[in-house]
Amino acid sequence: MDFDVVIVGAGFSGLYALYRMREVLGLSARVYEAGDGVGGTWYWNRYPGARCDSESFYYSYSFSEELQQEWAWSTKYPEQPEILGYLEHVAERFDLLRDIQLSTRVTAAVFQDDRDCWEVHTDTGDVVTARFFISAVGCLSAANVPSIPGLDRFEGEWHHTGAWPHEGVDFGGKRVGLVGTGSTGIQATPVVAEQAEHLYVFQRTPNYSVPARNHPLTPEQLQEIKTNYAEIRRKCRESYAGFPYDLTLTSATAVSDEERLATYERLWAEEGGFKFIYGSYFDLLFNQAANDTAAEFIRGKIRQIVKDPVVAEKLVPKDYPYGTKRPPIDTDYFETFNRPNVTLVDVRETPITDVVPSGIRTTDADYDVDIIVFATGFDAMTGSLLKIDIRGRDGMRLQEKWEAGPRTYLGLQVAGFPNMFTITGPGSPAVLANMPTAIEQHVEWIGDCVAHLRTHGLTRIEATAEAEEAWVDHVRQVAELTLYPQANSWYLGANIPGKKRVFMPYVGGFLPYTLRCAEVAERGYEGFALQP
Ligand code: N01
């Protein structure tokens, strides 16, 4: 066997998985990474305005006390280059690069039944074997470029935000069409508007965005964070969504209108960001009446900010509850529509029909542009994994197994695919949680599992079909108790034409999920078949 472990991807998950496997467990590991650098999401997403929506001090690793004490974040929400710099630093500091093969895409992985190992193929012609195959491909890395007729005849340049040119894009004096108003489009719009001659924002669904209230971190704030790191990390681990916010058990409907309004005003004006949803009332995502209070508050803010009432009305979300699409946060997004060089095009009213050589055509008009920016998201949670031809036991293909939607046990393993683990796979809280917190929990669980197998002389672990079935049912049932299924979100695969509508993340909460994972391990890996 060439390696104990092969890991696909060198982003937040792959880097930590390599560290854990090599430095903590003493295993031989090889990481394959398609990019020519480490960083994953933060390597690819270099679009203008790209920054983290979670606060820097907890959107970071906790596994090394030295690392968290040494590193100094500049702001509450750092920009993409700073986060990429952090991940590059981690790779260097822990000497990870020597086991990472860059510019190499894994094309296939085939389980070898007779040897309890995986044979992994790459686009550079490597064929290697490893006992364990770990996917660290990320949940949002397969870019979704809509198949709009005529794009190949467009005479300008176009880019997807998730595959942004390293040399950047000069918008100076250019007419720009930006398609998509999810978290990415909302981050990019104000920045592109400042540079472009004219910006047309093509919006299919308006979004509830809350101001980020970004600011530099002072030396005193940084010191306070560092002094309190143990407590911050504990709060993250023991929370509903991996954020270090104090748990609130109050319903939005249990307080007076005045009190609720004062809370929303404070969170909007002073705190900003995810605290609005995760630090206000516990039932915004479960109780329609509670959700209505927050949704109506944000609608009111949009109407106040945007001066043209017709434009404001188009920007106001009306047909899905707040937070059921991933809530964006912004810096001057709604304000940007007051600029004379910005036009909102409502493509729900007048859909895009095609791209013509000079720009974008809707049912109503032609918009001449020099550059098109597709902020149109990703084939989320399954897209990147299914690009790899993964064959498990008895030649079973993952593409076929997941035809009707992803099926996993705990988001960690798939029945029929022994010794394969998915970090933050579908069926785990992953994208509903603070990602580094979710990633660390997964990597540590997988590491402990591998250590357990080795200690007991076992060479194969596979989720049982029964455990998988029960978990898939549980994930669906919990989702149905919430408001989430009401929105056409990427959580449901609704953004990808033809993708089966299945709620993919586990919405039962990060802490309950981690307790379940721990319980499964304590009971000798309940729901898994272990073999010598
Ligand atoms: O993608 P999205 P994103 N014609 O899928 C529209 C994470 N993230 O890149 O809503 C016209 O959310 C689509 O319209 P609709 C975060 O988890 C993290 O913005 O489907 N429009 C929507 O408006 C986020 O959720 C950070 O009707 C089309 C937009 O494109 C995830 O990445 C920062 C279209 C896509 O929105 C994805 O966000 C940024 C078409 N054919 C993002 N197809 C961090 O801070 C799609 N759209 C870490």
User: pLDDT tens digits for 471-486?
Assistant: 999 999 999 999 999 9
Q: Output the CA 176–ligand 1 centroid distance in Å.
A: 18
Residue nearest to atom 48 of ligand 1 (CA): 52
Q: Output the CA 413–ligand 1 centroid distance in Å.
A: 27
Distance separating the N- and C-terminal Cα atoms of the chain:
17
Q: State residue 305 phi and psi, 5-degree precision.
A: -75, -45
Looking at residue 248, its pLDDT comes to 83
In three-state secondary structure terms, 221 is: helix
β-bridge partners, 216: 75
Q: Are strands 366-368 and 371-374 parallel, antiparallel or unpaired?
A: unpaired
Q: Output the CA 295–ligand 1 centroid distance in Å.
A: 19
* Cβ proximity of 506 and 411 under 8 Å: yes
Picking from 97-101, 247-251, 461-465, which range would have the lowest pLDDT averaged per residue? 247-251
Residue nearest to atom 37 of ligand 1 (CA): 377
DSSP category for residue 478: H
Task: Report the C-alpha gap between 475 and 206 in whole angstroms.
Answer: 28
Q: Which two tokens stand for residue 234?
A: 């504990």
In three-state secondary structure terms, 451 is: helix
Residue nearest to atom 17 of ligand 1 (CA): 326
Q: Residue 489: is it exposed, middle or buried by C-beta count within 10 angstroms (0-12/13-18/19+)? A: buried
Average pLDDT over the chain, rounded to an integer: 97
Q: Is the pLDDT of residue 326 over 90?
A: yes
Neighbours of 515 (CB within 10 A): 12
User: What is the sign, positive or negative, of the torsion defined by CA atoms of 387, 389, 392, 396?
Assistant: positive
Q: How many helices (H) and strands (E) does the chain have?
A: 17, 20
DSSP category for residue 501: -
Q: Output the CA 42–ligand 1 centroid distance in Å.
A: 16
Looking at residue 246, its pLDDT comes to 83
Residue nearest to atom 25 of ligand 1 (CA): 326
Q: Are strands 3-8 and 198-203 parallel, antiparallel or unpaired?
A: unpaired
Task: Kindly give the number of the ligand 1 atom that is closest to the alpha carbon of 146.
Answer: 41
pLDDT over 70 for what percent of the chain? Answer: 100
Q: Residues lining ligand 1, CB < 6 A?
A: 52-53, 140, 146, 179-185, 187, 202, 204-205, 326, 347, 352, 375-378, 431, 488, 490, 495
Residue nearest to atom 46 of ligand 1 (CA): 376
Q: Mean pLDDT over residues 79-90, rounded? A: 98
Q: Output the CA 38–ligand 1 centroid distance in Å.
A: 23
Q: Mean pLDDT over residues 155-184, rounded? A: 98
Q: Output the CA 488–ligand 1 centroid distance in Å.
A: 11
320-351 exposure pattern, b = at least 16 Cβ within 10 A, e = fewer:
bbbbbbbbbbbbbbbbbbeeeebebbbbeeee
Non-local CB neighbours of 471 within 8 Å, separated by 6+ positions: 408, 409, 410, 427, 527
Q: Output the CA 438–ligand 1 centroid distance in Å.
A: 21
Q: Mean pLDDT over residues 39-49, rounded? A: 98
Q: pLDDT-derived band of residue 256, with 50, 70 and 90 as boundaries?
A: very high
Q: Output the CA 258–ligand 1 centroid distance in Å.
A: 34
Neighbours of 308 (CB within 10 A): 12
Q: Output the CA 129–ligand 1 centroid distance in Å.
A: 37
Task: Report the C-alpha gap between 183 and 329 in whole angstroms.
Answer: 7
Q: pLDDT-derived band of residue 499, with 50, 70 and 90 as boundaries?
A: very high
Pocket test for ligand 1, best of 184, 354, 437 (most atoms within 8 A of CB): 184
pLDDT over 90 for what percent of the chain? Answer: 98
Q: Are strands 198-203 and 210-211 parallel, antiparallel or unpaired?
A: unpaired
Pocket test for ligand 1, best of 326, 331, 374, 434 (most atoms within 8 A of CB): 326
Question: Which candidate, 327, 281, 182, 239, places its Cα nearest to that of 58?
Answer: 239
Q: pLDDT-derived band of residue 235, with 50, 70 and 90 as boundaries?
A: very high
pTM check: above 0.95: yes
Neighbours of 75 (CB within 10 A): 16
Task: Kindly give the number of the ligand 1 atom that is closest to the alpha carbon of 180.
Answer: 30
Q: Is the pLDDT of residue 377 over 90?
A: yes
pLDDT per residue as tens digits for the range 107-161: 999 999 999 999 999 999 999 999 999 999 999 999 999 999 999 999 999 999 9
Looking at residue 91, its pLDDT comes to 98
Q: Output the CA 262–ligand 1 centroid distance in Å.
A: 31
90-118 exposure pattern, b = at least 16 Cβ within 10 A, e = fewer:
bbeebebbebbbeebebbebbbeeeebbb
The sheet with strand 359-362 has its strands ordered as 352-356, 359-362, 366-368
518 to 201, 234, 322, 423: CA distances (angstroms): 46, 16, 32, 16
Q: Residue 132: is it exposed, middle or buried by C-beta count within 10 angstroms (0-12/13-18/19+)? A: buried
Q: Residue 524: is it exposed, middle or buried by C-beta count within 10 angstroms (0-12/13-18/19+)? A: exposed
Three-state secondary structure string covering 36-62: CCCCCHHHHCCCCCCECCCCCCCCCCC
In three-state secondary structure terms, 476 is: helix
Looking at residue 115, its pLDDT comes to 96
Q: pLDDT-derived band of residue 397, with 50, 70 and 90 as boundaries?
A: very high
* Cβ proximity of 433 and 509 under 8 Å: no
Q: Output the CA 392–ligand 1 centroid distance in Å.
A: 32
* Cβ proximity of 199 and 178 under 8 Å: yes
Task: Report the C-alpha gap between 290 and 297 in whole angstroms.
Answer: 11
Pocket test for ligand 1, best of 53, 139, 183 (most atoms within 8 A of CB): 183
Residue nearest to atom 43 of ligand 1 (CA): 376
